[in-house]
């Protein structure tokens, strides 16, 4: 057999995503390139690694075994690389962070300088909703999680990063004539929600329940970007995190609609299990955060104070 580490990496990613399209996106390769490597890898086995049912890709039982073996092989390769870098005097290793979807507008700024200073560290960052982030933390699958709502019934340590503000937002072209209070806003304007399990969805529902608003109509979308595009298109309004709409506010495409009780203010927290045995890379990142977070907030998020 003449399979390569590159093929092992591609097949492992395909097995994780169960999609050639998603694997190509995460690996920053074209779909044809991934498909060719999968075919070349499959040609070395007499037993199918994948099967397609109803246009959906599935990994066979044999393929799952090969994927497990591939992961072990790649982990050993990473370990060799990290040991080499360590002996050369560089900090090295892998660091995994699970981030709630709106956190993708926050965490890169806290990582940027750190990653430049330590090129031997490989970063794996999963961006998903709050429920899945908490699950990955509870199962010890990640070093850190970035959340705006602290997980309950879990012993964690945390570092506060910055405020998270949520406002009621609509398209700038929307007229608010004859709608002069929050109750009418929520009863007469179509509302757009995030999916169940989202912290933004939870904050929005709590606000509506607390104020006993009746809602006229709702649409449910699975990402803040999707919600933003729907609001921009005039499909409705929503309670949205300020962090993700800076450009649209500056361009005049969106407007913040004043509502009593808003904004909802929470805090972005970097959290980890209290029992977690942090790697040298993870410990170094915490040290970087403690030293640099004030400067990062002042330089990158000083516009927050304008709202």
Q: Assess whether 230 and 176 both reside in one domain.
A: yes
Q: Assess whether 156 and 301 both reside in one domain.
A: yes
Q: Assess whether 171 and 262 both reside in one domain.
A: yes
Q: What is the pLDDT of residue 90?
A: 67
Instruction: Count the domains in the chain.
Output: 3
Q: Assess whether 154 and 180 both reside in one domain.
A: no
Q: What is the mean pLDDT of residues 47-63?
A: 92
Closest CA to 82 of 91, 74, 70: 91
DSSP state of 18: T
Q: Assess whether 59 and 115 both reside in one domain.
A: no
Q: Assess whether 137 and 190 both reside in one domain.
A: no
Q: What is the pLDDT of residue 91?
A: 73
Phi, psi of 237 (to 5 degrees): -125, 170
Q: Give the residue from 84, 116, 133 where a domain finishes.
A: 84
The CATH number assigned to the domain holding 291 equals: 3.40.190.10
Q: Assess whether 128 and 199 both reside in one domain.
A: no
Q: Distance between CA atoms of 147 and 134, rounded to whole angstroms?
A: 9
Q: How far is CA 51 from CA 39, 41, 57, 58, in A?
A: 12, 14, 6, 5
List, in order, residues 6 or more apart from 194 with CB less than 8 Å away.
Answer: 129, 200, 201, 204, 220, 221, 222, 223, 224, 227
Residue 243 and residue 307 in contact, taking contact as beta carbons nearer than 8 Å? no
pLDDT category at 89 given cuts 50, 70, 90 is low
Q: What is the pLDDT of residue 28?
A: 84
Q: Is the pLDDT of residue 78 over 80?
A: no
Residue 244 and residue 224 in contact, taking contact as beta carbons nearer than 8 Å? yes
Q: What is the mean pLDDT of residues 248-265?
A: 93
Domain that holds residue 38: 5-84
Q: Assess whether 153 and 194 both reside in one domain.
A: no
The CATH number assigned to the domain holding 55 equals: 1.10.10.10
Q: What is the mean pLDDT of residues 57-67?
A: 93
Q: What is the mean pLDDT of residues 55-72?
A: 91
Q: Assess whether 141 and 284 both reside in one domain.
A: yes
Q: What is the pLDDT of residue 157?
A: 97
Q: What is the pLDDT of residue 83?
A: 67
Query: Of the given ranges (40-49, 55-64, 94-103, 179-188), which has the lowest mean pLDDT?
Result: 179-188
Q: Give the residue from 84, 112, 138 where a domain finishes.
A: 84
Q: What is the pLDDT of residue 214?
A: 83
pLDDT category at 166 given cuts 50, 70, 90 is very high
SS3 for 201-237 is HHHHHHHHHHHCCCCCCEEEECCHHHHHHHHHCCCCE
pLDDT category at 88 given cuts 50, 70, 90 is low
Neighbours of 81 (CB within 10 A): 14
Q: Assess whether 42 and 128 both reside in one domain.
A: no
Q: What is the mean pLDDT of residues 121-147?
A: 93
Residue-wise pLDDT for 168-200, tens only, equals 999 998 777 666 667 777 877 889 999 988 989
Q: Give the residue from 27, 55, 84 where a domain finishes.
A: 84
Q: Assess whether 276 and 147 both reside in one domain.
A: yes
Q: Assess whether 276 and 296 both reside in one domain.
A: yes
Strand partners for 238: 169
């Amino acid at each position: 057999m003449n399979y390569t580490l590159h093929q092992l990496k591609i097949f492992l990613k395909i097995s994780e995503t169960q999609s050639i399209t998603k694997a190509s996106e995460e690996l920053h390769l074209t779909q044809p390139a991934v498909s060719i490597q999968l075919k070349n890898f499959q040609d070395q086995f007499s037993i199918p690694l994948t099967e397609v049912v109803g246009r959906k890709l599935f990994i066979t039982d044999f393929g799952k075994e090969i994927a497990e073996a591939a992961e072990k092989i790649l982990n050993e390769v990473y370990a060799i690389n990290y040991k080499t870098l360590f002996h050369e005097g560089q900090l090295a290793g892998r660091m995994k962070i699970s981030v709630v979807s709106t956190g993708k507008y926050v965490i890169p700024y806290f990582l940027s300088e750190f990653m430049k200073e330590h090129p031997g560290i490989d970063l794996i960052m999963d961006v998903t909703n709050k429920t899945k982030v908490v699950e990955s933390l509870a199962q010890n699958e990640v070093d850190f999680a970035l959340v705006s709502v602290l997980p309950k019934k879990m012993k964690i340590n945390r570092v506060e990063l910055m405020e998270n503000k949520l406002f009621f937002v609509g398209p700038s072209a929307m007229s608010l004539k004859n709608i002069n209070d929050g109750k009418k806003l929520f009863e007469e304007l179509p509302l757009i929600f995030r999916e169940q399990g989202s912290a933004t969805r939870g904050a929005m529902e709590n606000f509506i329940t607390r104020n006993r608003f009746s809602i006229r109509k709702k649409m449910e979308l699975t990402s803040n970007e999707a919600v933003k595009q729907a609001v921009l298109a005039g499909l409705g309004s929503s309670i949205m995190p300020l962090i993700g709409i800076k450009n649209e506010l500056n361009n005049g495409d969106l407007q913040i609609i004043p509502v009593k009780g808003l904004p909802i203010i929470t805090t972005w927290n970097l959290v980890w299990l209290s029992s977690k045995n942090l790697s040298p890379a993870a410990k170094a990142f915490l040290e970087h955060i403690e030293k640099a977070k004030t400067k990062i907030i002042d330089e990158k998020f000083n516009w927050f104070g304008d709202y």
